[in-house]
Copies of this chain bind each other. A is one copy, B any other.
Amino acid sequence: MNKAIKTAISPTREEDYPEWYQQVIKGADLAENSPVRGCMVIKPWGYALWENMQRVLDKMFKQTGHQNAYFPLFIPMSFLEQEAKHVEGFAKECAVVTHHRLEHDPETGGLRPAGPLEEPLIVRPTSETIIGAMYAKWVQSYRDLPILINQWANVVRWEMRTRLFLRTAEFLWQEGHTVHATKEEAIEETYKMLDVYADFAENFMAVPVIKGEKTPGERFPGADITLSIEAMMQDRKALQAGTSHFLGQNFSRAQEIKFQDQNSEVAYAWTTSWGVSTRLIGALIMTHADDDGMIMPPRIAPSHAVILPIYRDEAQRADVLDYCRNLKAELEELAFAGRALEVDIDDRDLRGGEKKWYHVKRGVPLRIEVGPKDIAKDAVFLARRDTGEQQSVGRAELLSSIVGRLSEMQDNLFQRAKKMREEHTVEIDSEAEFRKYFTPNNADNPEIHAGFAMCYFASEEAVQPLLDELKVTIRCIPLEENDQPGTCFLTGQPAEKRAVFAKAY
């Protein structure tokens, strides 16, 4: 390979995008595969990121009136039978518990399952049915409504082909489940939580998203309305980053969630559910990481800055470390985005280059190098991860400017991602253009796609065969700036709205 510039991650995005993704995760030490097929281990640096994401989201949920609770990991099979009856497209790939004991197996000398269960239990793939069963008990009167509950939990969906963060058998998520007395209130909740997700994605993850409604064919089974936020990855594929469902009375009828209203009449309640998962970390990586590895948006970064002490001998070491520790303490008295700065000192016995690249690959926003020469002029060597910009900065200036720098970086990451999306989004109004747009013309790099096509369409059924042929999906019908009617790109019939068409994760 003839590379002019060496990168910390090999291959680069241009060379092999899917492999680049795996190597970014490895280089940043975010997660790895476990001996259990399809299940990942989230390593400390990745889990600290998830904790920051959780903390921000959890606060937003509480500010919008929700409380957390915890429901069982297991769902009796009969609950899913009920659901399978009334829901088409019911997901059947799941982990099934059939025994409750291990016993010695005299044949193999090992262990074998024993104690068969009367009724198999399913490890929750999502909790609508088990939570609904509890809500049916809790809801009697309109006074018991609304119920606004969220759960942070692990869920399992058996997957054949898995990929760290994007698709794993077990993943971590939150699932909100709410019950309302009126349809209007439930719909309002559905939109409100989509707004919370969009706010979080854009203002904390620096990931621009399109808020939209799913077409009937792409809805959550059992939902009357499914809303989603859709983001563009650097290979220009779409990634669904969060969903919010208005479930109408479908689940409340199946599960008998009824209440006596103010006129003493019994009515079925209206329910919603909404969730985001560790998949968001996949979205974060594919939005911001570059050929040198991860880039953490400062507002959710596990740490804001790392200080690398540089010295030649033990005599220098004491002074340099002393300076670094004082600097760390001063920096940690500052706050950015409602959180005290977190600063690490890396004094491991590693070569300077190795140590530098270690932190570049992990995506720490700011790298601060301190050696005797810097100390002599009361300055530090400062490097920004997003732009690569490096400069000597006086200590006082660092302290007075660091919060502003982090804020600028946060904004820069968002603007850069938004620009990328805008550059790869087109309006398409004919089948020929559509075919051309979604037909790979780049044999060297079949994994980088064209982008988003905004198209009028008359009906999902009419366009589906073409979409199947090109492996394109309708991501969503954008909620905003989408009220001029037009004509279907395929049939020429009148159409109300444009939708986002794209290849997708």
Q: Footprint of B on A, CB under 8 Å?
A: 32, 34-36, 39-44, 47-48, 50-51, 67-81, 84, 92-104, 110-111, 113, 115, 120-123, 130, 133-134, 143, 149, 153-154, 156, 158, 170, 172, 348-349
Chain B contacts of A43 at CB under 8 A?
Answer: 69
For the complex formed, measure the closest distance between the CB of A214 and the CB atoms of chain B, giving whole angstroms: 25
For this complex, 27 residue pairs linking A to B, each with C-beta atoms less than 8 Å apart, are: A34-B130, A34-B133, A35-B130, A35-B133, A36-B72, A36-B76, A39-B74, A41-B72, A44-B149, A50-B70, A70-B172, A73-B123, A74-B95, A78-B110, A80-B102, A81-B110, A84-B104, A84-B111, A92-B101, A92-B111, A93-B115, A94-B100, A94-B102, A95-B121, A96-B101, A98-B113, A102-B122
Chain B positions within 8 Å of A48 at CB level? 67-68
Specify which chain B residues have a CB less than 8 angstroms from the CB of A41 in the assembled complex. Answer: 69-72, 134
The complex is assembled from copies of this chain, and their number is: 2
The one of B72, B92, B103, B149 that contacts A102, using a Cβ cutoff of 8 Å = B92
Minimum CB–CB distance from A422 to chain B (whole Å) comes to 36
Residues of B within 8 A of A99 (CB): 95-96, 98, 120
C-alpha gap A10/B30 in the complex (Å) = 52
Which residue of the partner chain B has the closest CB to A98?
A: B98
Which residues of chain B are within 8 angstroms of A74 by Cβ–Cβ distance?
Answer: 36, 39, 95, 170
CB–CB A47/B75 < 8 A: no
User: Which residues on B sit within 8 Å (CB–CB) of A50?
Assistant: 70
Cβ contacts under 8 Å, A104 to chain B: 84
C-alpha gap A95/B98 in the complex (Å): 8
- Whether A75 contacts B36 in the complex (CB less than 8 A), given A94-B101, A98-B96, A113-B98, comes out as yes
